[in-house]
Structure 1
Amino acid sequence: MAMDNVFFFMKDRALLDDLSAIDVERDWGYFSTGVKCWSSQTFLRLRAQGYDVKAGNHPPQAGVVCCHADDLHALINHPSCSDHLLIACARADREPQLYADYEIVQNQWSSNDVRCRFIPHWPQPGLRRRSPERRALRCVGYKGEEGNLHPWFLADEWGGFLKENGLSWDLDTTAWSGSEASHHSRWNDYSSIDVFLSIRKDFQGGYYHKPASKLVNSWQAGVPAILGSEVAYLELRKSPLDYIHAQSPEHVKEALLSLMRNPQLYSNMVENGLKRAEEFTAEKVTNRWVQVFSELAIIQRSRLWQVYARMPRGVRMRIRRRFARGIVKNNRERLVTDVTR
């Protein structure tokens, strides 16, 4: 597919100016916001593979326009935005975007609406795997925003457990200021981490809007993971070797002790994770974007779309809102019934 009809809309002129100089793997730290991860990075990766995608802050008159949820209102309120455009919006962590014709969602749970297409989040650019020279389990690591970590892992009891068992705690966090990470992180570097841990504030919380990025990055880094009950992890879990599911502080302690006492289990989890990582390479995610854009191009050429596109965008939104009420009700009734897989 040539994809010369695919346009990435970004309202920020500075981000568009950055595109000519950014190298995804070299400049991994650049991708610190949702717009940069979903719009800038997707544009750059597709272009690097030879696809003739375009980007700008002035929408075209025809074709498929992709944007992040934070840019959607700027797009639809732009004086040049035609009702005939097919808008595909990357929802990311936001609420459903009913003004968009289609949505890109970051976990399978969110894709039950016919308007939604699941595309995995991009794997961590510039990732450095765990060093092969490391032998024993000595360091537990966390990478993420400081406000997302369960407070127990900042308490004295956790620190005491680590010290008693000869473990160190690599807390690689950032504080969120609203648009950019407040200080430099090492989110790409797993070279000195032996186990990755990520438990949000609610051990049992499904966090249905979140992606499985931390799990996929751990697989690619060759680092076993201990994770909570997020639906994005559970829906990818095929085997106990994929990650250790912890539902309490005691579960976390038991998991770490088990890995320390059983080197074969540790080795099996590393090997399994590297195999699973092959499902989520940048190449595989690129192919998924191409598949979705190809599908949307076919839809836009259909007679049904030609009729649909004659409706003002506000009318289309009201129709979607009516259907969305049933989808929300259905989501509330859906349960993850086997959280111990």
Structure 2
Amino acid sequence: MQNREQRVGPANYCIPHWDQPGLIPRATKPLDDKDTFHIAFAGIPANTVRLEKILANANFDRSVCLSNLSSNEWNDFSKIDALVAVRDFEGKRHPEKPPTKLFNAWCAGVPFIGGMDCAYEQVGRAGVDYLQVSTRQQLIDAIARLQDQEVWQFLVREGGKSAEIYGRDNTRACWVSVLSGPIQEQFSRWENSSQFRRKLSVWRRGFYFNVMRLRRRYLMLKRQY
């Protein structure tokens, strides 16, 4: 699984997912105090707070432009100065979601502003490699903070370090460690158990999988996944 909150037993393991291929990183040029500050949201607009209205009513030291990255350009961070992924201001933890957007921002060299999603807290360090907000005013303050050259560079630098921690080599090593260690041991115990216990184990896992699948489909129908 990709979120620790989905763990329901000792046979479940949380392994960071791979970074998404095809990311176009932000241009390496530094932030310019005179340029428009470009922020973006990648995903379904209905699944985030009303960013356009919030920005329209906020007062910043410079012009701020919002882009909603479509499914055809979700991977293009070349002209983005910050990525926003705030689903709500209700403090919801969203245990069904992985930290994909945070990983993408780290790998693309773009500061990240996220909500209270537990997935972000599990891999990131709020205030260090990403900014966490839970209110409208905190979101406005975070965008204003990132317009400072030093703050922006600090988030990019720390995000780059985190991207290395969750890079492909370390993710590969994690998979090998889990598959050749505890999973192999558990399979051996399952293989040597009674037929009844094996069938019960398969049924329990199938039940849990179907519950999670139905939940995802429900959220997709509501356009909240």
User: TM-score band (shorter)?
Assistant: 0.7 to 0.9
The structural deviation recorded for 1:282 is 2.1
Q: One-letter code of the match for 1:310?
A: Q
Q: One-letter code of the match for 1:138?
A: F
Q: Does 1:265 align with 2:151?
A: yes
SS of 2:113 mapped into structure 1? strand
The structural deviation recorded for 1:248 is 1.2
Q: One-letter code of the match for 1:122?
A: W
Q: What's the counterpart of residue 169 of structure 1?
A: 66
Identity percentage over the alignment? Answer: 25
Q: What's the counterpart of residue 146 of structure 1?
A: 45
Any residues of structure 2 matched to 1:29-68 within 5 Å, and which?
none
Question: Partners in 2 of 1:224 and 1:263 — Cα distance?
Answer: 12
Instruction: Say whether the 8 Å CA contact 2:89–2:136 is kept in structure 1.
Output: no
The size of the alignment, in residue pairs, is 204
Tell which deviates more after alignment, 186-195 or 285-294. 285-294
Q: One-letter code of the match for 1:278?
A: E
Q: Deviations over 1:77-128 (max 9, x none)?
A: xxxxxxxxxxxxxxxxxxxxxxxxxxxx102233352120111122121112
Question: Partners in 2 of 1:284 and 1:190 — Cα distance?
Answer: 24
Question: Partners in 1 of 2:88 and 2:136 — Cα distance?
Answer: 12
Unaligned runs of 5+ in 1: 1-104, 175-184, 325-341
CA 1:306 to 1:217, structure 2 compared with 1: closer, same or farther past 3 Å?
same
SS of 2:164 mapped into structure 1? helix
The structural deviation recorded for 1:244 is 1.0
Question: Partners in 2 of 1:257 and 1:238 — Cα distance?
Answer: 20
Q: Tell me which of the two structures has the higher relative contact order, counting C-alpha pairs closer than 8 angstroms and 6 or more residues apart.
A: 2
2:31 maps to which of 135, 151, 172: 135
Q: CA-atom RMSD, angstroms?
A: 2.7
Larger radius of gyration: 1
Could you say which structure has the higher helix fraction?
Answer: 2
Q: What's the counterpart of residue 9 of structure 2?
A: 113
Q: Does 1:223 align with 2:110?
A: yes
Unaligned runs of 5+ in 2: 209-225
Q: What's the counterpart of residue 44 of structure 1?
A: none
Any residues of structure 2 matched to 1:322-337 within 5 Å, and which?
none
Question: Partners in 2 of 1:161 and 1:278 — Cα distance?
Answer: 35
Q: Does 1:276 align with 2:174?
A: no
Q: One-letter code of the match for 2:24?
A: R
Q: What's the counterpart of residue 256 of structure 1?
A: 143
With structure 2 as the length reference, what TM-score do the two structures score?
A: 0.79
